[in-house]
Amino acid sequence: MKELHFETIDSTSTYLKRNRGELDSFTAVSASFQSEGRGRSGRSWKADKNENLLFSILLKDAPQLEAGPFLSLVSAFSVARSLEGMGMEEISIKWPNDVYVAGKKVCGILLEGNISEYIVIGIGINVNQTEFHDEYRIPPTSIRLELGKEVDIKGFRALLYKNLEEDLKDCLNKRRFISYYEGHDYLKGKKVEHLGDTCTVIGVDEDFALILEKDGVKEKVTSSEVTLKLV
């Protein structure tokens, strides 16, 4: 992994998209603060300065482009196993790519790009932040809140980069990631609203499409841009 770090940047993902022509695949850019951090579905991603891990990775090689949206799960898996490596328990993945600890969000992942050319994976992890300023239905958590102690952000970043590099290079070995997901599935059995209907989440298929059930009829949801509301 080639590593760059900025104290302040607009957004690590925007930086990589802007400079993707000059930068190599597996370049990681982190920042202590983002002035225009972006989340999924056009939302902003706000994180207090110096308290969190905010970074993005540029991918341009064939195996990763072939894996495409599946990289959401690969990234969530890397984050989850790195958190486990820090001694955290009760980790789950919320399809397609949020990581939860004890039922609360600790990490968000944003996949962008154009799969014939490049993919940028943006990852935001709440590390030492203990107060969250926006209104949330379920307030987020951080590694520090869960472990009860301050975390060395650089040390955690090194562990995560190592795991991500290994897992992203193995991204076509889908079964490995699906198996982990099946054992750490946040949504399984929960009720969600999809296109106005209330459905029950059954699980995922081998391509990581979500399987929902309504009135005994199963339906697959493939787009990772679908926003599901828990009911």
Q: Which residues bind ligand BTN (CB under 6 A)?
A: 11-13, 34, 37-40, 43, 45, 54-56, 98, 108-110, 122-124
Q: How far is the CB of 14 from ligand BTN (least distance, A)?
A: 6
The residue of the chain with the least Cβ separation from ligand BTN equals 108
Q: Which helix (DSSP H) or strand (DSSP E) does residue 9 occupy?
A: strand 2-9
Q: How far is the CB of 167 from ligand BTN (least distance, A)?
A: 18
Nearer to ligand BTN by Cβ, of 46 and 176: the residue is 46
Nearer to ligand BTN by Cβ, of 13 and 141: the residue is 13
Please choose, from the candidates 127, 152, 149, 153, the residue with its C-alpha nearest in 3D space to the C-alpha of residue 140: 127
Q: How far is the CB of 79 from ligand BTN (least distance, A)?
A: 11
Which two structure tokens, joined as six digits, stand for 119? 């993919």
Which two structure tokens, joined as six digits, stand for 45? 């991603």
Q: Is 81 exposed, middle or buried (0-12, 13-18, 19+ CB in 10 A)?
A: middle
Whether 68 contacts 138, CB under 8 Å = no
Nearer to ligand BTN by Cβ, of 132 and 176: the residue is 132
Nearer to ligand BTN by Cβ, of 1 and 172: the residue is 1
Q: Is 200 exposed, middle or buried (0-12, 13-18, 19+ CB in 10 A)?
A: middle
Q: How far is the CB of 82 from ligand BTN (least distance, A)?
A: 16
